[in-house]
Structure 1
Amino acid sequence: MKNLYILDDHPIVTEGLSQLLANNHNYQITTGQHHSELYNYLNHATPDLLIIDYEIQEHTALEILSYLRQKALQIPVLIYTMHTEFWIIKLLTKAEVAGIVTKNDKIDEIEKAIERILEENSKYYSPTALHIVLSIVGDQSAAKLVNYIPSPREHEIIQMLSNGLTSDDIAHQLNLSKNTIDTMRKNILLKSGATNVSHLMRIAFLKGWIAI
């Protein structure tokens, strides 16, 4: 059974989400309305996923993310919020949250996000959040962004490209021919919908394949 912790200072949200998830899924749900409740909980337990609003009373999700890093707690965080301001979404993506769902999205988006994060270990942006994220980077490859998942070898090559390695460099490190690497690069661009390596890096950042 997966353990979820929901942090939101609106009881109607925590109660509604708890009921939805408990009825439809085999989740153990814990809720809190203040960051101190969460911190106390983390002293004796580690949830599989944190679901938190961006703004909790006088605190923000960014402060909580900073706290998790300071404590070296590797817990994925799903943001569920009314805030859709450009700068907030940008800060959250840079903070490498596991997902963003807005309260303007359909309720099943929260279930999709939880499943994607917990079962596939990947990031998830709801349609509203994804539209904002894509506008940040000027990327209109939404369909490809959502569907393509690189293989372990493709992921390795994407990581190397993000570090500035050339096809020759990658071929040498992987003990493969340059022609093989060039072919794999072309396939990655095709599958991801990217037009070039720079475009691919933007997509990779959004999907959480690399960190910038």
Structure 2
Amino acid sequence: MKNLYILDDHPIITEGITQLLANNQQYQITTGHHYSELYNYLNHTTPDLLIIDYEIQDKTALDVIAYLQQKSLHFPILVYTMHTEFWIIKLLTKAEVSGIITKNDKIEEIEKAIKSILEENSKYYSPTALHIVLSIVGDQSAAKVINYTPSPRENEIIQMLSCGLTSDEIAHKLNLSKNTIDTMRKNILLKSGATNVSHLMRIAFLKGWITK
């Protein structure tokens, strides 16, 4: 059972998200409408995931994140927001939130994000948020990235590439031929829309495929 905490000062939103997730027996959901309710909750419970609106009364999600860091509280945070200004999205990515969804996206993006964060231990950016994030780093491949998730073997190769390993070294570690690794590398670049390995590493970091 995963404990989810939903923080939004509009009851209709917390009720709507709760209803959306009602059929999933894996989630135990707590809601709050003021950040003080969250802070009281954290005195006795640590959620597996905090789902929070960017704007809460006179504070923002960034203020709440700063409070959590001050208290040395660490758990995944999914932020949804009506704001699509690149500087806000950039601040959220810099704060290393686990997911960003904009209110321009479809409601099912929330379910996708929760699954990605809790079950796959991966960051999640909704289509609208991902376009903004990739534009920040100069990437124009958002459409391809949205629909691509590396296979376990592809992810293994991405991890090794992130450590600076060459095709020869990866081939040796995986007991495969260099030609096979070269082909797989080309396929990963093609599927992700990356133009080279450096570009792939930026995408992989933003998507949460690698964490360092």
* TM > 0.5 fold call: yes
1:55-70 pair list within 5 angstroms: 55-70=55-70
Quote the residue 2:30 is aligned against: 30
Between Structure 1 and Structure 2, which shows a larger proportion of helix residues? 1
* Structure 1 SS opposite 2:203: helix
* Structure 1 SS opposite 2:4: strand
* Structure 2 SS opposite 1:149: coil
| TM-score, scaled to structure 2 | 0.81
- Structure 2 distance, partners of 1:101, 1:110, is 7
Which letter maps to 2:131? H
Quote the residue 1:140 is aligned against: 140
- Structure 2 distance, partners of 1:4, 1:68, is 16
1:190-201 pair list within 5 angstroms: 190-201=190-201
Matched, 1:162 2:155: no
- Structure 2 distance, partners of 1:160, 1:207, is 16
Q: Is the 8 A contact 1:162 1:201 kept in 2?
A: yes
Q: Is the 8 A contact 2:102 2:128 kept in 1?
A: yes
- Structure 2 distance, partners of 1:171, 1:89, is 38
Quote the residue 1:81 is aligned against: 81
- Structure 2 distance, partners of 1:21, 1:102, is 18
- Structure 1 pair 152–94 and aligned structure 2 pair: CA distance change class (3 A): farther
Q: Is the 8 A contact 2:101 2:129 kept in 1?
A: yes
- Structure 1 pair 59–211 and aligned structure 2 pair: CA distance change class (3 A): farther
Quote the residue 1:205 is aligned against: 205
- Structure 1 pair 211–58 and aligned structure 2 pair: CA distance change class (3 A): farther
- Structure 1 pair 183–7 and aligned structure 2 pair: CA distance change class (3 A): same
The range that moved more, 134-143 or 74-83, is: 134-143
- Structure 2 distance, partners of 1:204, 1:157, is 12
1:153-193 CA deviation, whole Å, 9 max, x = no partner?
A: 54344344335455566667778776565444334323322
| TM-score, scaled to structure 1 | 0.81
1:168-179 pair list within 5 angstroms: none
Q: Percent identity?
A: 84
* Structure 2 SS opposite 1:120: coil
What is the alpha-carbon root mean square deviation over aligned residues?
Answer: 2.8
Structure 2: gaps spanning 5 or more residues: none
Which letter maps to 1:210? I
Q: How many residues align?
A: 211
- Structure 2 distance, partners of 1:69, 1:125, is 22
Q: Is the 8 A contact 2:167 2:181 kept in 1?
A: yes
Which letter maps to 2:64? I
1:15-51 CA deviation, whole Å, 9 max, x = no partner?
A: 33223322x4333221112222212212211222110
